[in-house]
Amino acid sequence: MSISVDYFGKRYVEIDRLQAALESKLQHIEFDSRQKLYFLLSDNGDEIIEKTQFEKVMGVWSTFTCNDINNDNELDVNEIKMMWWLLDGKKPINAKLEREIRIMDSDGNGTIDRLEWLSYLCSPKVPGQETLGSKDYYDFELRENFEQADSDKDGLINQKDIISLIKN
């Protein structure tokens, strides 16, 4: 039985129904990571979510899962390297890999857990709203635009990238 409904050719589901369905399937994932996922799914404050938004958020979630080869809910350096290779379509340069790991590894233990991964992909809390319950959000359009502009996939927008954008 599907929990979504069709409305003018698009699929929608109520957030609370989706959360209940996911909760029954994700018990092996730590509570804080599941809560972060639910925040991402409901980032616009609506009571419903459209299928494409759900697929984008779950794509981020699945990227972590697919690269967690040993299923320990953490990505080590080799798993992260493979993830960037798959995401960018080419072997990552060490400088990019080291920079991204430094940014993601908020507890400094040398691995990236699911919560660090989700936090990395989310914008920081809004200044002045650091209270418990503030939501982070993932800006999919900004990330897509950045990825398109970063033609050499080094994680930076440099002069070469800008010239390439101007020519296109």
86 vs 111, residue with greater confidence: 111
- Of the candidates 131, 133, 136, the one whose C-alpha atom is nearest the C-alpha of residue 44 is 136
In this predicted model, what pLDDT tens digit does every residue of 115-150 receive, in sequence order?
888 777 765 444 444 443 344 445 556 666 777 777
Continuous H helices in the chain: 15-25, 31-41, 51-67, 77-88, 94-104, 114-121, 140-149, 159-167
Please tell me the distance from the alpha carbon of residue 25 to that of residue 118, in angstroms, as a whole number: 18
Q: Are 79 and 68 in contact (CB under 8 A)?
A: yes
58 vs 69, residue with greater confidence: 69
- Of the candidates 71, 58, 53, the one whose C-alpha atom is nearest the C-alpha of residue 11 is 53
What's the pLDDT at 131? 41
Q: For the chain, what is the mean pLDDT?
A: 77
What does the pLDDT average to over 53-64?
81
Per domain, the residue ranges of the chain are: 5-124, 140-168
What's the pLDDT at 109? 92
**pLDDT category of residue 75 using cuts at 50, 70 and 90:** very high
DSSP string covering 144-158: HHHHHH-TT-SSS--
Distance of CA 55 to the CA centre of its chain: 11
Domain 5-124 has CATH 1.10.238.10: yes
Please tell me the distance from the alpha carbon of residue 116 to that of residue 106, in angstroms, as a whole number: 7
Q: Would the pLDDT of 9 be above 90?
A: no
